Amino acid sequence: MRRLYFIAVCAACAWGVAGCGDKPPVTVYKQGQYQGKPDAQPWDNPQFKGDKVAWENAIRRRTDGQNEYTRATPTPQ
């Protein structure tokens, strides 16, 4: 009986420390370096002529246009 108890305690201890050797299963990817061609900024074209603010305003206007709550009932000025 005592021997059985001893084996059970040993097994419990072994089971308890088994998790210590566990490695995290998440793979950490390393970011690479871009090797391709350079790309122009979206405002560096004949339409916006490098005017970043104008481009941002155009995009913001379009983005706000997706909100039909303000589009249908414009907020009073």
67 binds other proteins (CB under 8 A): yes
Asked whether 55 and 49 are in contact (CB, 8 A), the reply is no
45 binds other proteins (CB under 8 A): yes
Please choose, from the candidates 48, 29, 30, 32, the residue with its C-alpha nearest in 3D space to the C-alpha of residue 40: 48
75 binds other proteins (CB under 8 A): no
CB of 27 to other proteins, least distance (A): 9
12 binds other proteins (CB under 8 A): no
Which region, judged by CB under 8 A, interacts with other proteins, from 6-14, 16-24, 33-41?
33-41
For other proteins, which is the closer residue by CB, 8 or 42?
Answer: 42
Q: In a 10 Å sphere around its CB, with 0-12 CB exposed, 13-18 middle and 19+ buried, how is residue 58 labelled?
A: middle
Asked whether 59 and 65 are in contact (CB, 8 A), the reply is no
